[in-house]
């Protein structure tokens, strides 16, 4: 039995898109573009992100998909990232996600990624995360990881974060510290 199948992931994504569209429609007139203004983003050194994690296809157990709580932390390494003419930052991200599968198996996914952030406006930022990770528990082994995500910023210190990629999808709250 699959704990959280493709249908569940689609429902979560649909709910997030609906929320994002309603938030964007509400604040679009007051939002201000900052992508061409390097350095105009929240001043932080660490981003803490508790989230819900929806994973699929772990190695070994044939468990299918599962979900559970997780945490991602990102340390900012470069304040004005690889492209000096735009508003971008680069950091290293790491975390741990506990995953429960429908067949009483559990695993912990430990990702390590490079996070490249692009600050589009005062309310929106997007990021890409290439990297890898490893599973511990009933599923063991290493996997490549690649994610893309976005944040809706309620303030300079608080954002709603969605991450989509392989091997997982997550939705959480980011705290810029």
Answer whether residue 121 is part of any domain: yes
Is the residue at 153 inside a domain? Answer: yes
Question: Residue 133 belongs to what domain range?
Answer: 6-176
Q: What is the 8-class DSSP label of residue 4?
A: S
Compute and round to an integer the Cα radius of gyration of the chain.
Answer: 17
| Structural domain total, the chain | 1
60 within a domain of the structure (yes/no): yes
CA distances from 72 to 6, 24, 159, 161, 167 (A): 23, 25, 14, 11, 15
Q: What is the pTM of this model?
A: 0.81
Structural domain contains residue 148: yes
The CATH number given to whatever domain includes residue 131 is 2.40.160.20
The answer to whether 151 and 42 have CB atoms below 8 angstroms apart is no
Is residue 44 included in any domain, yes or no? yes
Distance CA 153, CA 126 (A): 11
Question: Is residue 123, in this structure, part of any structural domain at all?
Answer: yes
Tens-of-pLDDT digits for all 177 residues of the chain? 444 556 666 655 665 555 555 555 554 557 999 999 999 999 999 999 999 999 887 766 566 788 999 999 999 999 999 999 999 999 999 999 999 987 788 889 999 999 999 999 999 999 999 999 999 988 788 999 999 999 999 999 999 999 999 999 999 999 999
Whether 1 maps to a domain, the answer reads no
């Amino acid at each position: 039995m699959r704990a959280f199948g493709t249908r569940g992931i689609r429902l979560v994504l649909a709910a997030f898109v609906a929320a994002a569209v309603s938030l964007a429609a509400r604040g679009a007139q007051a939002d201000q573009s900052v992508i061409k203004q390097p350095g105009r983003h929240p001043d932080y050194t660490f981003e803490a992100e508790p989230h819900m994690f929806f994973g699929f296809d772990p190695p070994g157990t044939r468990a299918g998909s599962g979900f559970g709580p997780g945490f991602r932390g990102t340390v900012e390494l470069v304040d004005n990232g690889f492209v000096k003419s735009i508003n971008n930052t680069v950091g290293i991200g790491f975390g741990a996600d506990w995953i429960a599968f429908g067949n009483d198996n559990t695993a912990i996914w430990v990702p390590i990624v490079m996070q490249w952030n692009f600050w589009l406006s005062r309310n929106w930022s997007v990021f890409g995360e290439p990297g890898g990770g490893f599973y511990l528990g009933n599923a063991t082994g290493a996997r490549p990881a690649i994610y893309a995500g976005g944040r809706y910023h309620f303030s300079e210190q608080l954002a709603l974060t969605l991450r989509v990629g392989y091997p997982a999808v997550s939705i959480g709250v980011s705290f810029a510290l």
